[in-house]
Amino acid sequence: MSETSARPQPRPAFVRLILARHGEASGNREMRYLGRTDAPLTERGEAQARQLAAALSGFPIATVYSSPLQRAERTAAAIAEMLGLPVVPRDDLREQDFGTWENRTRAEVLAEDAAALAAWESGVEVAPPEGETPLALRARVVACADELAARHPSQSVVLASHVGPIKALICAALGLPPSGAFRLWLDPASFSVLDWRPNGGNGILRVFNSIAHLEPARWLRPHLTEA
């Protein structure tokens, strides 16, 4: 082995992904599977988007990318306006497709087909009927992150997206299986920060589910859960 080949090779530059979940959307409080459903932000969600934008105003952000669904686009627009940047739509940041479960609650699906729900929540190759598998979701968002790492080395970019894509990227960065997403909680209008290196999902999670800029979440209060 030559002296040159024995030396550690430089690691590729990372991109800092600021993963912004959209503000509260119609159906979120009931915890409906929105997926491809183009639900609008609620009045509260619009206010949350502005609060999120203010929280991110101090970051040196190069570009704001967004899912094409309006709940994410409206959130991205608030952030972009604060920063004086345009919003760049990316279809690969859309939410997971829940197929026939779209716009239904977990309780409704559980009552109708508990076996299918259990299979989806435990496996990576199982999709909701006519929907998308967790593994397919992970593949498309990892490909997106790799592309952005090559395009924005050593820069920070916002990805305005949804629970599924954000959790999928975090699980990939931490070396967790796609099913690990079911052990993570993301609040509306929260942000997480992930340093991502291309080719392999080598990343460092710096911030997760930051909500200090919002009113206290209901799950922080006794005997209540947050939708």
Show which residues are catalytic: 22, 162
Q: What are phi and psi of 79, to 5 degrees?
A: -65, -45
Give the integer Cα–Cα distance in Å for 215 and 63.
27
**For residue 103, which of 24, 187, 35, 25 has the smallest C-alpha distance?**
35
In 3-state terms, what secondary structure has residue 29?
coil
Token readout for 189 is 């209008």
Give the integer Cα–Cα distance in Å for 133 and 138.
9
How many H-runs (helices) and E-runs (strands) does the chain carry? 7, 6
Q: Are 93 and 159 in contact (CB under 8 A)?
A: yes
Residue type, 90: R
Q: Are 188 and 164 in contact (CB under 8 A)?
A: no
